[in-house]
Amino acid sequence: MSWRDAIALAVKTVRRRPGRAVLTVLAVTLAASLLTALLTISTTAETRVLNQLSSGGPLAGIKVAAAEPDPGQVDQDNASPGDPKSLDDAALQRIQDLPDVREVIPIVSTRMFVITRARDKDDHRIAPFPEDVVGVDLTKINQLPITLTAGRLPTPGSLSEVAVTQGYLERLGLERLDAPQVVGTALEMASGQVVPNERVRGRWTKFTIVGVVAQEASNGQFLASTEVVDQARDWASAGIDASRALDLPTSPYTGLFVVARGIDNVSKVRAQITAIGYSTAAPENLLASVRRYLRVVEIVLSAVGLIALVVAALGISNAMLAAVRERRREIGVLKAIGARDRDVYRVFLVEAGTLGFLGGVLGTALGWLIAAMVGRVVNGYLAAQRLVGVQLTLPWMVVVGGIVGSTVLALLAGTLPAVRAARLPAREAVSGT
Amino acid sequence: MLGVRPATRSARPTTTMLRMMLALLLVLVAGCSSGSSGATSEAPPATDPSPPLVYVAMGGIETLNSDRDDLPDNWPQIVLAEHLPAGAVYVNLATEGGTVKSGLDGQLPEARDLHATVATIWFESADLRLGTATRVYHDELATLVEDLQADGVKVVLVRSGVWIGDPPPLPATVAVVAGDTGATLVDLGDISDRNDDAGQRRIATQVAAAIGAG
């Protein structure tokens, strides 16, 4: 019997018992889809997420402060800045020109006087208070380590919107979960200008709080557009002896957020910025820990998928053994008309392999579909957070592994039934004893 | 091909099943290809296309409220907080001994520098105390209002006082200037409660209504 005959016979047999075939294929499909989905998600988490973030995201970001570097800062995620040092356009350009720097995002901040009409949890008025307002280019917010917990971020260039941090909630005596309460409320903020007679004149602006963020781009409870901070600084600096009277910062930029070209370049860029002479901080140790955890998650998820696949293979074996028992007479007839043991063996093996292959193909496709759906949900969440979405890709190893693995496992599972069928004596088989 | 037992069941259900499997596979593959594009967050649109409302409060101590401790409850601050839209800017240009003359010389240039769009003018106690001549007061106040109006500023004149019979000359002049220039007049009447939060709120409400922000 040729392989072609064996395949034709196996297909015919499968078609004669569609119910069993469908159920067996379904078991393999589900197992393969589980394995494919888990592997795709975990692989994406490790490679795509980390790589995407590193090519323009917070994990590849280095915070540069307007300060001298701490000598040992490269070994620490959050080093203590040294003495203040002006961070100007020239310094920004030098850092921008470093070969492994993808982008430099300036951060400016200024101290403003704040009046909130909100009341604390005991219904007391909040006394006016001074606080730092951090201004960033909001068109590049995706690359900053800022996550929304409620509302949205201010629109780029807005002179009427701010986001607040957890610190503002604490000032109001609110918990993190209460964040939506402050969204939509208003506050007034002023920068001061020293006028004659030692008076300070405020330039007040009414702002709407549009969101609450979990982290701070720099020290300060308010996040706004660069334009808000620039206007406040211009107003303050136009006063009499402004820098001395109001203790205004002398550095044009409060800090920089430097995005390296890939996570692997973070250390190198940090060292180069340190050499230029500025204090830096980067989540390098955090990143290493994240990678380790992702690897563990991948192993665990793979194990879960493999167990499912083995269970499915046992199902194939069980179905094939049942088929051998049911088809004793057919096996006997085959042998009576000249089929050899290896021909019978081949028919059953091909049948098992066909079921495994079909299940593998369908399961891999279904698994990819599930992973894509999960990816869409994740991307929807990331988009709401104004963060870069992840692009899900199906590694070819997972496709090949899913289909070939299912087929091989099915062949292994079908070996025992095939051997039993092949060794069945023709006379016993025909007589059905 | 070896002869085997012919299929006893009809081939049609089996063919249908295989077709269904094929269709399912195609659907899955189509779903995969359409779901492969990763979503990225779009840059939010830029806002604030129109210039902001810039409100300047000009005057003397009645506007500066330096004799009060509670900044958030000063009437111009309440106008900003409760009656003007988000993005509105407010600067209090008033000085403690502010007269119309000082307003013309000092506060007007500052209002211009700020590109004010709305201004309230309330010069009263210092001019009364210093005995500014009615004619001078009229001319200077009118010049101040007209100069602001020439820059497109909406001007609101504020006066106070309770009188028996005709108002004294200066408060009466405020009304005359308002009539001459077309500025909006806010007649507060008795402001003996000016130092109270309630009094400040009353002033804010009347001024906001005159500004058209009420």
Confirm or reject contact between B44 and chain A (CB < 8 A). Answer: yes
Q: Which of B31, B55, B196 is nearest to A366 (CA)?
A: B31
A372 with A232, same domain: the answer is: no
Helices assigned H by DSSP within A158-216: 166-171, 179-182
What would the two tokens of residue A93 be? 């350009």
Q: pLDDT tens for residues B50-65?
A: 678 999 999 999 999 9
**What is the pLDDT at residue B5?**
39
Q: pLDDT tens for residues B7-34?
A: 444 444 444 544 544 444 444 333 333 3
Check pLDDT > 80 for residue A54.
Answer: no
- The pLDDT confidence band at residue A58, using thresholds 50, 70 and 90, is low
User: How does DSSP assign A263-279, residue by residue?
Assistant: GGGHHHHHHHHHHHT-E
What would the two tokens of residue B83 be? 């009656």
Q: Which residues of B touch A392 (CB under 8 A)?
A: 35-36, 38
Measure CB to CB from residue B47 to each of A158, A365, A393 and give the nearest one: A158
A333 with A186, same domain: the answer is: no
Check pLDDT > 90 for residue A164.
Answer: yes
CA-nearest residue of chain A to B17?
A18
pTM for this model (two decimals): 0.65
If phi > 0 it is left, if psi is from -120 to 50 it is alpha, else beta; for residue A204 that is beta
Q: Say how far apart CA A266 and CA A287 lie, in whole Å.
A: 10
A118 with A206, same domain: the answer is: yes
Q: Which residues of A touch B92 (CB under 8 A)?
A: 201-202
CA-nearest residue of chain B to A156?
B46
A269 assigned to some structural domain = no
Q: Phi, psi (5° rounding) for residue B156?
A: -120, 120
Enumerate residues 130 to 159 of chain B having a beta carbon within 8 A of any beta carbon in chain A: none
Q: Say how far apart CA A190 and CA A186 lie, in whole Å.
A: 14
CB count within 10 Å of CB A332 equals 21
Q: pLDDT tens for residues A353-377?
A: 888 898 889 999 998 888 888 888 8
Q: Say how far apart CA A194 and CA A182 lie, in whole Å.
A: 32
Averaged pLDDT, B93-116: 94
Q: Which residues of B touch A383 (CB under 8 A)?
A: 39-42
**pLDDT over 90 percentage in chain A:** 24
* Cross-strand partners of A189: A114, A205
A217 with A307, same domain: the answer is: no
If phi > 0 it is left, if psi is from -120 to 50 it is alpha, else beta; for residue B151 that is alpha
Decide if A391 and B93 are in contact by the 8 Å CB cutoff: no
Coil vs helix vs strand at A110? strand
A418 assigned to some structural domain = yes
Residue extents of the structural domains in chain B = 54-211
* Count of structural domains, chain A: 2
**What is the pLDDT at residue B162?**
61
Q: Which domain holds residue A14?
A: 3-54+289-431
Decide if A115 and B86 are in contact by the 8 Å CB cutoff: no
Q: Say how far apart CA A73 and CA A275 lie, in whole Å.
A: 11
- The pLDDT confidence band at residue A39, using thresholds 50, 70 and 90, is confident
Q: Say how far apart CA A17 and CA A246 lie, in whole Å.
A: 87
Q: pLDDT tens for residues A306-359?
A: 887 788 778 777 877 877 777 777 788 888 888 888 888 888 888 888 888 988
Confirm or reject contact between B11 and chain A (CB < 8 A). Answer: yes
* Cross-strand partners of A114: A129, A189
| A106, containing H or E segment | strand A101-116
CATH of B54-211, one of 1.10.3720.10, 3.40.640.10, 3.40.50.150, 3.40.50.1110: 3.40.50.1110
A114 with A166, same domain: the answer is: yes
Instruction: Kindly report the nearest CA distance between residue B194 and chain A, in angstroms.
Output: 21
A119 with A240, same domain: the answer is: yes
Measure CB to CB from residue B44 to each of A8, A153, A379 and give the nearest one: A153
Check pLDDT > 50 for residue A418.
Answer: yes
**Span of A34-43, A48-57, A152-161, A393-402 with lowest mean pLDDT:** A48-57
What would the two tokens of residue A219 be? 């020290």
ipTM above 0.90, yes or no: no
Mutate to test the interface with B, among A24, A41, A194, A205 (most CBs of B within 10 A): A205
DSSP single-letter state for residue B196: S
Decide if A365 and B80 are in contact by the 8 Å CB cutoff: no
Q: Which of A313, A359, A327 is nearest to A17 (CA)?
A: A327
A190 with A302, same domain: the answer is: no
**Span of A54-58, A159-163, B90-94 with lowest mean pLDDT:** A54-58
- The pLDDT confidence band at residue A402, using thresholds 50, 70 and 90, is confident
What would the two tokens of residue B78 be? 């309440």
A275 assigned to some structural domain = no
Decide if B32 and A369 are in contact by the 8 Å CB cutoff: yes
A196 with A149, same domain: the answer is: yes
- The pLDDT confidence band at residue B125, using thresholds 50, 70 and 90, is confident
Measure CB to CB from residue A369 to each of B28, B47, B93 and give the nearest one: B28
Q: Are A60 and A266 in contact (CB under 8 A)?
A: yes
Averaged pLDDT, B153-158: 96
A330 assigned to some structural domain = yes
Q: Which of B132, B118, B15, B134 is nearest to B57 (CA)?
A: B118
Q: Say how far apart CA A143 and CA A347 lie, in whole Å.
A: 59
| A404, containing H or E segment | helix A396-422
User: How does DSSP assign A16-44, residue by residue?
Assistant: HSHHHHHHHHHHHHHHHHHHHHHHHHHHI
A130 with A174, same domain: the answer is: yes
A49 with A105, same domain: the answer is: no
A254 with A307, same domain: the answer is: no
If phi > 0 it is left, if psi is from -120 to 50 it is alpha, else beta; for residue A189 that is beta
Averaged pLDDT score across all residues of chain A: 82
